[in-house]
Amino acid sequence: MTQSVSSDVSSRSLPVIDVGALIAADNAKAMQTVAEQIRDACRVHGFFYVSGHGVDGELIERLDLLSRRFFALDEQKKMRWRMALAGRAWRGYFPLGGELTSGRPDWKEGLYLGTELAEDHPLVLAATPVHGRNLFPDIPGFRDTILQYMNAVTALGHVLMQGIASSLALPPAYFYERYTADPLILFRIFNYPSQDVPGDLDVQWGVGEHTDYGLLTILLQDQIGGLQVKTPGGWVDATPIPGTFICNIGDMLERMTGGWYRSTAHRVVRNTSGTDRLSFPLFFDPNYFAEVHPIDGLPQVPDPDDSASRWDQANVHAFNGKYGDYLLNKVSKVFPQLKQDVL
Ligand SMILES: O=C(O)CCC(=O)C(=O)O
Ligand SMILES: [Fe+2]
């Protein structure tokens, strides 16, 4: 990979944490060991691989296969499910170069999805942004597979948040009781095609440097690679490891922990491998209406404001208010046109 810069990968590679004990939930000592591994990973990197997660491998294979079938369709056909058609629900397909990071197009196409809510759900009737029905492409089996996958990984998200609570010496249900009994789940399926960029386009990355907005991102990626994580020692490749997810913490967890855990910047290099790269991030976030507050009693971080070196120059610690407000402010920057049309 051309932009790979890690020279001393062994000391800087990201940890793999087997979370089987958290799922089994029958051995307090083993659960504590996992919580300590999570704490170390969140303190040092903000990124870790998860193995032993229990999500069905056959379901993952089916999701990958059907997603490839979708992206192989003509662009014109894929545009039948374009995001503009979902309005405020913020769902559907966006074409190559259609999403911006820091004002520049990313070299990816994708399908935006989330918790499936019916037209008569109160939040949909109230036209709540990012809530609504999905635009499921008419690939046989795709809808059910996506819904099953979102359910399975959301369940994993609840377990991981229990582990994160324990890692902070909080009761396991800390986040559930305050923020995630009804979490905001956004799910994306991305294709990074191995395709040249036309000379007149200002494209550099698959996805430019950024942090994620919410609590926890649970990412499935295929075998191509390209995700890189910013560490104090430089950019590190998050090399694919079969059978694992990659987890990273988002801005809201940094805010809640007063910077004790950081939302670590990451990016994806442009795919030049000759084969499409697929990735599937699921964002496990606080309820849209939840007010985010710092957690009492954590170790104090002297100066948590790192806005000067952050990709968006934002100070997440200055944010007060509903998670939904924070999210909308961010999302409107990555899809400015859509914001104009539907908000
Ligand atoms: O595709 C990837 O590997 C990462 C995508 C990502 O960082 C994001 O969607 O926030
Ligand atoms: Fe991300």
What's domain 11-342's superfamily in CATH?
Answer: B-lactam Antibiotic, Isopenicillin N Synthase; Chain (2.60.120.330)
What's residue 99's pLDDT?
81
- Per-residue confidence band for 67, with pLDDT thresholds at 50, 70 and 90: very high
Q: Contact at 8 Å (CB) between 238 and 47?
A: yes
The residue behind tokens 């991030």 is 281
- Per-residue confidence band for 198, with pLDDT thresholds at 50, 70 and 90: confident
Q: What percent of the chain has pLDDT over 70?
A: 94
DSSP state of 304: -
pLDDT tens-digit profile of 277-317? 999 999 999 999 999 999 999 999 988 998 888 888 889 99
Q: Beginning with the edge strand found earlier in the chain, give each strand of the sheet holding 47-51 in spatial order.
A: 16-18, 47-51, 245-249, 216-221, 277-285, 184-192, 109-114, 92-94
pLDDT at residue 213 is higher than 80: yes
175 lines ligand 1 (CB under 6 A): no
According to DSSP, the β-strands at 184-192 and 245-249 are unpaired
Highest mean pLDDT among 10-14, 106-110, 150-154, 302-306: 150-154
What's residue 1's pLDDT?
35
213 lines ligand 1 (CB under 6 A): no
281 lines ligand 1 (CB under 6 A): yes
Q: Compute the half-sphere exposure of residue 192: CA atoms within 13 Å on the CB side of its CA.
A: 28
207 lines ligand 1 (CB under 6 A): yes
pTM: 0.94
Instruction: Tell me the CA distances in angstroms from 104 to 52, 207, 224, 310, 315, one per residue in order.
Output: 37, 9, 23, 17, 22
Q: What are phi and psi of 169, to 5 degrees?
A: 60, 35
pLDDT tens-digit profile of 221-273? 999 999 999 998 899 999 999 999 999 999 999 999 999 999 999 999 999 99
Which helix (H) or strand (E) covers residue 176, if one does? none
pLDDT at residue 196 is higher than 90: no
| CA-279 nearest atom, ligand 1 | 1
283 lines ligand 1 (CB under 6 A): no
Answer yes or no: is the ipTM higher than 0.90: yes
Best residue among 266, 270, 312 to mutate for probing ligand 1's pocket (most ligand atoms within 8 Å of CB) is 266
